[in-house]
Amino acid sequence: MNGKSLVSITDFSKENYLEILDLAKEFESRPNPDLFRGKVVGSLFFEPSTRTRLSFESAVTRMGGRIIGFTEASSSSVTKGETLYDTIKIVSNYCDLIVMRHAMEGSARYASEVASIPIINAGDGANQHPTQTMLDLYSIQKTQNKLENLNICLVGDLKYGRTVHSLLMAMSEFNSTFHFVSPKELKMPMVYKLFLENRGLKYEEHTEFNDIVKEADVIYMTRVQKERFSDPIEYEKTKNAYNLKKDMLKNAKPGMKILHPLPRVNEIHTEIDSTPQAYYFTQALNGVFARQAIIAKILGLK
């Protein structure tokens, strides 16, 4: 991984995932405030994303590294008409690693070909967001004490949600069983179902949420967005069907955990926040350790 960019979850192998998870665990249990000392990370957020950006900033700062960059395109030379190519070429001179978020799909792959230093993709449009997947894996491993043979229930917008697609790809390495719960309009695309079939992995599709809860080891919630529906009446009909409420958890496995890439709107009722199954806020904290591990590996510091 040393010197390599992380653009897509498929850039890293299963062994790479496991090394990153081990290192994240090490950083969580034994903080290492000096490991990134003297390192400069360029943080190029052409598109604003407060949570992801702060998570990276926290990850770098807590290990003694420095962050330079911008938080939205309007405060960069993009407004003057500079191409992505030029911006990346210039910033490559100033730092050891670039973390980049951009609205255009494929922008991070392109940047990784232009840059003389590694790129970490912090989201390229609807395409990839691999560090989210790594923190999801870390959260699953931490709460279930394993990654193998788990029952993973993905809920909500399975058609457009990039996090669920990447998580599916990554978890397919660990013999998972998948349950897809979504409105008809937002079903898991065929290409991912074929991907699982080719690997001999089981999946079931559901439009009803309730009965699946008791089987799940992990429930991964996503937001169903109004703008995804061509028919607003369909949205009104389905908008609450994929919300998780406390009484739905009564038959849940004791170790089951609810994950969510956040931000949530109303798909997880706030009364769930105090249940032992609620894990989404800790999941966000795990992002700091997972990102520290990824950066350490890419910079060749571990």
What are the φ/ψ torsions at residue 152 (nearest 5 degrees)?
A: -110, 125
- The smaller minimum CB distance to another protein, of residues 48 and 106, is found at 106
Active site residue 179: no
Q: 78 and 29 in contact (C-beta within 8 Å)?
A: no
- The smaller minimum CB distance to another protein, of residues 64 and 125, is found at 125
In the complex, the residues that contact another protein under the rule CB under 8 A are 8, 83-85, 102-107, 109-110, 124-128, 191
Q: Which residue in 14, 37, 51, 199 is the catalytic one?
A: 51
Residue 153: enclosing H or E segment and its boundaries?
strand 151-155
Euclidean distance between CA atoms 242 and 222, whole angstroms:
9
Q: Which residue in 101, 142, 162, 223 is the catalytic one?
A: 101
Q: How far is the CB of 128 from another protein (least distance, A)?
A: 7
Active site residue 207: no
- The smaller minimum CB distance to another protein, of residues 110 and 235, is found at 110
Q: 49 and 123 in contact (C-beta within 8 Å)?
A: yes
Q: How far is the CB of 244 from another protein (least distance, A)?
A: 30
Active site residue 80: yes
Q: How far is the CB of 35 from another protein (least distance, A)?
A: 33
- The smaller minimum CB distance to another protein, of residues 105 and 271, is found at 105
Active site residue 101: yes
Euclidean distance between CA atoms 240 and 159, whole angstroms:
18
Concatenated DSSP letters for 175-233? Answer: T-EEEEE--GGGPPPHHHHHHHHHTT--EEEES--GGGGGG-SEEEE----GGG-SSHH
Q: Which residue in 129, 162, 223, 257 is the catalytic one?
A: 129
Q: How far is the CB of 171 from another protein (least distance, A)?
A: 19
Q: How far is the CB of 3 from another protein (least distance, A)?
A: 20
Q: Which residue in 30, 79, 80, 250 is the catalytic one?
A: 80
Active site residue 302: no
Euclidean distance between CA atoms 81 and 42, whole angstroms:
20
- The smaller minimum CB distance to another protein, of residues 190 and 233, is found at 190
Residues with Cβ < 8 Å from 130, sequence gap 6 or more?
A: 6, 7, 8, 9, 11, 12, 120, 121, 166
| Active site amino acids | 51-52, 80, 101, 129
